[in-house]
Chains A and B, each alone.
Chain A
Amino acid sequence: MKWDWSAVGDFMPHFWDGLLVTLQALVLGSLISFALGLVWALLMRTPSRWVRWPVGVVTEFIRNTPLLVQLFFLFYVLPEWNITFSAMTTGVVAIGLHYSTYTMQVYRAGIEGVPAGQWEAATALNLPMTRTWTAVILPQAIRRVVPALGNYVISMLKDTPLLMAITVLDMLGEARLFSQQNFQFTEPLTVIGVAFILISYPASLLMRALERRLVR
C-alpha cells in the first residue's frame, strides 16, 4: 500500500470546498427537518383522522424508502413537472424531507413526555390553544428532545455524501472528481473518511453531554 502525502496536499483545497458544501447542506437540511418534523408531529395530534391518516401513511412511506431513490425522484421527476431547482436545493429538500419523518417521532415522544399536570394547569388558567402549545407544552417538549434531534443531525451528516449522486460537489463529490482526474483514489477517500469521523465522533460526545444536562 503506497501513501502519497503530496496527493493529500493537492487534494486539501478541494477538500475545504467540499466541506463547505457538506456543511451548508447539513445546516439547511437540519433546519427543514426540524421545522417540517414539528409540523408532522402537530398534524398527527389533530382530532380528525382524515388528517392523521394521510400524514401517517406519507411519513411512513418516506421513512421506509431509500433516500437515494428519493433524491433521484426529486432530481429527475420535478423537472418533468416544470419545477427546476439546482441540484443542491433538490438535495437539501430531499434530506430535510427524509429526516423530518424521523424528527417527527422525536417531537412526538417529547410532547407525550410533558406531564399531564401541565395540560391541566393550562386548562385551569384558561389559556387559549395556541398559547398552551407555544408557552407551556412545546418549550418543555423541545428542551427534552434536543439531544435526540442532535443525533439525527449526525446521521444526516453521514447521509450528505449521497448528494454526490445528483452531481452536487460535496466532500465525496470533490474526492471522486479529484481521484478521476489524478488516478489517486486512496488518499482523497481516506482523507474524507477520517474527516467524517473527526466531525461526527466529537459531535456524538457533545450530544451525550447535552443529554445528561437537558434530559432529567
Chain B
Amino acid sequence: MTSGLWELVLKGIWVTVQLLVFSALLAAAVSFVVGIARTHRLWIVRFLAGFYTEVFRGTSALIMIFWVFFVLPPAFGWQLVPMWAGTLALGLTYGAYGSEIVRGALNSVDPAQREGGIALSFSPWQRLRLILLPQAVPEMIPPFSNLLIELLKGTALVSVMGMGDLAFSGNLVRLALQESAEIYTYILLIYFVIAFLLTRVMRGLEKKLKAGLGRVPEGGGKKLPAPRPETTAVGAEAAGGR
C-alpha cells in the first residue's frame, strides 16, 4: 500500500470518528429524553415515547439511513449534508435502543429513594436530577458501552450511501489495488482498535462515576448481583469445566 492510499484510510478514520461522536451525542440526548418520558406520570407521554422506541427499534438502521437520504429531501424539500443525514439516522435509531437502557436504570433505583424525595417535598424535576439520575447513570454505563460499540459498527452503514468513512475508504483501496485481503484485514483491525479504546474509556468512566457514589464497579457495596450458583470442584472436574 502506498502512502496516498494510507492517507485515504486516515481520512476515512476521521470521518468515522466524527460520525461516531455526533451520532453518539444525538443518541444520548434522545435516550435520556425518551427514556425519562417513558417513566412520566401522564399515560400519553409514556405512550408516545414507547411508540417512538418501538418504531425506531423495529426498523433497520440501514433502512433508516436510506429513508433519511432519499425520502426526506423530496418530502420536506431540504437536503441534508451527508454527515448530518448519517448522524440523524444513526442517532435516532440507536437513541431508541438507549432509551430502553435509561428506562431500565431509572426503574431499578430503589423505590424508597423516590419516596424519600416525595417525603422531603422535592419537585419531580428535583427528584429526577438530584436523586434518581445520580444513582441510575452509573448503572447505565456498561449497557451504554455495549451500545456504543454497536453504534461504531453501525457507522459503517453510511458507506453504502457513498459517504467516505472507513469502510468506504476500504472499498476505494480495494478498487485501486485490485486486491482485497490486505486492506480489509487492516480495516477490520482499525475498527477493533477503536472499539477496544471505547470500552477502556467507558470502563474508566464507570469507575469514576461509581466511586462518586461510594460503590465499586462489579461487586462491592449493596449493588452486588445475585450470586450465581457455583459448581463444586467435583462436579466441575467431571464436566471438564473450570
Contact = CB atoms under 8 A, between A and B. Distances in A.
B232 to A, nearest CB: 6
A176 B180 contact: no
Interface string A35-56: 0000000000111000000000
Contacts of B230: 116
A13 interface: no
Contacts of A172: 60, 62-63, 66
B235 A120 contact: yes
Given A116-B235, A196-B60, A197-B55, A68 B229 contact: no
Given A64-B196, A165-B160, A189 B71 contact: yes
A78 B63 CA distance: 28
A132 interface: yes
A158 B240 contact: no
Contacts of A59: none
Contact of B58 (A80, A175, A201): A201
Contact of A66 (B64, B174, B191): B191
Contacts of A196: 58-60, 63
Contacts of B231: 116, 119-120
A129 B180 contact: no
A52 B231 CA distance: 19
Contacts of B234: 120, 123
Nearest to B238: A123
B76 interface: yes
A133 B184 CA distance: 39
Interface in B94-146: none
Interface stretch (A69-77, A89-97, A208-216): A69-77
Given A65-B153, A185-B74, A113 B228 contact: yes
A1 B62 contact: no
A145 interface: no
B192 interface: yes
A1 to B, nearest CB: 4
A161 B63 contact: yes
Of residues A1, A137, A159, A193, which shows the largest number of chain B Cβ atoms within 10 Å of its Cβ? A193
Given A45-B241, A137-B239, A185-B71, A161 B184 contact: no
A129 B238 CA distance: 7
B222 interface: no
Determine the main DSSP class of B at the interface with A: helix
Interface residues of B, number: 54
A139 interface: no
B240 A45 contact: yes
Nearest to B71: A186
A98 to B, nearest CB: 9
Contacts of A119: 231-232, 235-236, 238-239, 241
Most buried by B among A66, A68, A120, A162: A66
Contacts of A179: 70
A68 B232 contact: no
Interface string A155-193: 001111110110000001001100100000110011011
A16 interface: no
B159 interface: yes
A122 B239 contact: yes
Interface string A109-146: 00011011001101100000100110001000000000
A123 B58 CA distance: 46
A61 interface: yes
A1 B77 CA distance: 9
Nearest to B182: A77
A171 to B, nearest CB: 8
Given A45-B240, A193-B63, A69 B54 contact: no
A129 B66 contact: no
Given A68-B167, A196-B60, A76 B184 contact: yes
A94 B28 CA distance: 30
Across chains A and B, which 4 residue pairs bring their CB atoms closest together, nearest first? A119-B235, A197-B58, A66-B156, A76-B180
Given A68-B157, A119-B238, A204-B58, 14 more contacts: A66-B156, A68-B160, A73-B185, A80-B181, A113-B228, A113-B229, A122-B239, A129-B238, A159-B60, A161-B60, A164-B62, A196-B58, A196-B59, A197-B59
